[in-house]
A and B are shown apart, each in its own frame.
Chain A
Amino acid sequence: MDTNGKPILEIRDVSKIYKTKAGLLAGRGKDVVALDRISLEINKGEIFGLVGESGSGKTTAGRLIVSLEETDFGEILMDGQPVTGLKGKRLKKFRKKAQMIFQDPYQSLNPQRSILDTVSEPLSIHRVGHTSSRKDRVREALKSVGLSPPDDFLYRYPHRLSGGQRQRVAIARAMILDPEFVIADEPTSMLDASISAQIFNILLKMRNELNVTQLFITHSLAAARYLCDRIAVLYHGRLMELGQADQVIQNPKHPYTKALLDALPKFGHSGDRKRYGTLLTQERKDAQDVGCNFFPRCSLAQESRCNLEKPVLEDSGNQHLVACFLSQL
């Protein structure tokens, strides 16, 4: 693994809040805190996994990094340059560096445009090459994601392709401008297992052969373990744990991470009710907003600290960071 060690992406204290509008009949809306002061760094050449369930904010994080949405607080830097607030020409230049593969291959390709049109669009927007050289580049891109022979696919429309093929087209499109950084937002959640395996291997190839740094957003710890060098666990907009993938999964320190691992179906081992080491069966009713996000469901939590303050990520040794008062005991 050829990580140059230097961070290519820095996220500093980023928050994103969605305000719900107060309606005539609805009364004052409650603001939703999608991300709450997230900080992390991604190194060049690594595949970094962001793991969380629905509502964790992981997709929002991805969208902020590629500037599809604006942060409310904090800053994001890529190669030392701020990403937040980019507009116009500078935004367009940024798009050549950072790309995204979307979750739903059935929706991320324009149904009215052929594969050739879709994959060559970034080239024509950035005025790279001319019509015939673009077509050659598209052919190369399709071959590299396993759609061979590429001429079979150039003039087809998305609805004639399977989900796995469509996702490969999406990857080809994302890669055609040779970006340095690619975010894959749950790229396989709509695909079957054997097709997902093909996609994972393409992502690995991208890193191994082209040194593309990747942020892999997923709800599956198993997939994160397979693909990622380091992972971070997100819960309700806050980072709970961060470290080497094997470390975090083999030796989880945060009660939430432990609960996620406890919840996984154990291959072939049967059916008594699972023993959760850290999850309560009923949520606590007395949780306060200022306390730890996981407090309502945590069986290890202590009223005295966990409900009064939010823990921050701290190194528990070996670059394995945990945000939990109890793990620091």
Chain B
Amino acid sequence: MALLEVDNLSIGYRTKQGYLKAVEGVSFTLDEGQSLGFVGESGCGKTTIGMALMGLMPPNGSVGQGRILFEGQDLLEMTEAQRRETRWSQIAMIFQAAMNAMNPVQRVGDQIAEAILVHNPAVEKEAALHQVEELFDLVGIPRDRLRGYPHQYSGGMKQRAIIAMALACKPKLIIADEPTTALDVIVQDQILTEIKELQKEFNIGVIFISHDISIVADMCQDIAVMYAGQMVEYGPREAVFDSPVHPYTKALLSSFPTITGEKNDLIPIPGETPNLIHPPSGCRFGERCPGVSLTCSQAPKWIQMGPGHKALCCHC
């Protein structure tokens, strides 16, 4: 049985101008210990998926249809109490801008211990703090920082503390949403390596969300490319990276400047992302696609390109 199975998930937000279809018809599976990356630009829906998995949708957000099966159980059918049980102890999240997610007036060690205590009320505070010390060893924070406050931590250290908090209850699945934005390159690399090692050591499933395709390719075995709320390409890292099929994936890859290899012209994608309150029928990338044709006005279908590699396109 897969650890996580998402089936035809659609999520939207009620806004003053109408219902914004943020995520449409997304399906994927994740096995234990496997890593899957979601790549896309702002507004593509990747963060919304992460929030939905955690059950942390804002009040105006709602799941239109679909199922989220975690170890066989549908998260969407759970009561709030059951969801709170699962949250953190089974599924944990490293939030975007997590560095500012810590309570500035509480000691870091205490905050992490609190996460442990909430899910294991039987544990004593002393024992919890001891666990935090071990977590600090794991993520590379010196033990003497246990009693420090967030403002005394550097950016990289705060991020490590957040990772420690995510691991505190030994979850089976971690969702990392842009965990290294705003960190310097060297620190970023160190943090990403930590995550990879911890994932291997504890056999944790990881869903990695980022706008930076090179990080995702480095971190994850499989990549899902998101555009305007839909998954447009999915496959193993090598396939999506080295032989992308969907025009958006190709365009995305060619908008990143490279360090090695040929210095090609960066080709920006013309136009703007579509309005998700009234999305175009047919292919959502059609207006901006260099290869657009008449067939693109119909809803695109999944085309299988190779083992596990598929793209949502009308004419690929």
Contacts and interface: CB of A to CB of B under 8 A. Distances in A.
Asked if A pairs with B, the answer is yes
A270 to B, nearest CB: 7
A260 B184 CA distance: 10
B189 A263 contact: yes
A89 interface: no
B149 to A, nearest CB: 15
A259 B41 CA distance: 28
B284 interface: no
B266 interface: yes
A225 B256 CA distance: 12
Interface string A62-82: 000000000000000000000
B268 A198 contact: yes
Contact of B185 (A219, A249, A269): A219
Interface stretch (B24-32, B63-71, B208-216): B208-216
B257 A222 contact: yes
A54 B189 CA distance: 15
B186 A259 contact: yes
A170 interface: no
Given A193-B41, A193-B211, A194-B252, A225 B196 contact: no
Given A265-B214, A267-B241, A222 B255 contact: no
Given A200-B257, A226-B257, A260-B186, A192 B211 contact: yes
A195 interface: yes
Nearest to A223: B257
A269 B260 CA distance: 13
Interface in A147-194: 162-163, 192-194
Contact of A273 (B185, B193, B256): B193
A203 to B, nearest CB: 11
B162 interface: no
Given A197-B268, A219-B184, A192 B189 contact: no
Interface string B281-312: 00000000000000000000000000000000
B188 interface: yes
B99 interface: no
Interface string A209-230: 0000000000111110111000
Which of A54, A223, A261, A265 has the most chain B CB within a 10 Å cutoff?
A265
The B interface is mostly helix, strand or loop, or mixed, namely helix
Contacts of B217: 265, 267-268
B242 A268 contact: yes
Given A263-B185, A265-B214, A273-B193, A221 B259 contact: yes
A279 interface: yes
A196 B268 CA distance: 8
A270 B215 contact: no
B237 A268 contact: yes
A300 interface: no
The A interface is mostly helix, strand or loop, or mixed, namely helix
B277 interface: no
Given A201-B268, A260-B186, A268-B238, A222 B215 contact: no
A267 B263 CA distance: 15
Contact of B259 (A193, A201, A225, A273): A225
B46 to A, nearest CB: 12
Interface in A266-290: 266-271, 273-274, 279
A193 B185 contact: no
B76 interface: no
Given A192-B42, A197-B255, A271 B218 contact: yes
Chain A interface size, under 10 / 10 to 19 / 20 to 34 / 35 or more? 35 or more
A192 B218 contact: no
Contacts of A260: 185-186
A198 B217 CA distance: 23
Interface string B254-276: 01111100010011110010000
B218 A270 contact: yes
Interface string B212-242: 1111011100000000000000000110011
A53 interface: yes
Contacts of A17: none
B255 A274 contact: no
A264 interface: yes
Contacts of A163: 42
A268 B219 CA distance: 9
A194 B254 CA distance: 9
Interface string B181-208: 0001110110011001100000000000
A270 B237 contact: yes
Contacts of A227: 257
A197 B267 contact: yes
Given A193-B212, A221-B259, A263 B42 contact: no
A273 B200 CA distance: 12
Given A198-B268, A268-B217, A263 B255 contact: no
Nearest to A273: B193
Interface in B50-107: none
A69 B193 CA distance: 39
Given A193-B41, A194-B252, A197-B266, 9 more contacts: A54-B155, A163-B42, A221-B259, A222-B259, A223-B257, A265-B192, A265-B214, A265-B215, A268-B242
9 contacts: A196-B255, A200-B266, A221-B259, A249-B259, A260-B185, A261-B259, A267-B241, A268-B218, A270-B218
Sorted from nearest, which 10 A-B pairs have the closest CB atoms?
A: A226-B257, A265-B218, A197-B268, A53-B184, A192-B41, A198-B268, A197-B266, A197-B255, A263-B189, A222-B257
Interface of A: 53-54, 162-163, 192-198, 200-201, 219-223, 225-227, 249, 259-261, 263-271, 273-274, 279
